[in-house]
Amino acid sequence: MFTWDLVHPIARCSLICSITLHESGKTLWPWTGFENEIGDGEGKDYNVNVPLPMGICDEAYLEIFNKIVIPLAKSYDPDVFVLQLGMDALAGDLLAHLELTNNVHAFNDGRNTTHEYRLG
């Protein structure tokens, strides 16, 4: 499962690898989602948090995505991708401090992710 949103899920099962890009817990409730939070129980080591700094833009976000998410997805080798795309990560959200645009969602709607994963 790949998510980008303001907040993050927690892996509880080794059948699901959760890779999430979200606003840092340093600047947003629930004050969690740090790199050292790697899941628990059977899900330990199947949870990857990538906290994003305030003000991140599309170009920097996609660079992080390509350097972290794609290699991890290839390593886990899933049968299915589940994308959770939170609109609250877009610029202008009253709670968020991120500066993403619809362009990053359009690029990363699943077609590019699975194409890069399978052919990259």
- Mean residue pLDDT of the chain comes to 79
Where along the chain do its domains lie?
Answer: 2-119
pLDDT in tens, 28-70: 888 888 999 988 888 888 889 999 999 999 999 999 988 998 8
Q: Which residue has the tokens 């052919």?
A: 119
pLDDT band for 119, please (50, 70, 90 cuts): very low
Burial of 9 (0-12, 13-18, 19+ CB in 10 A): middle
Distance CA 12, CA 47 (A): 8
- Look up the pTM and report it: 0.77
Task: Give pLDDT, residue 7.
Answer: 53
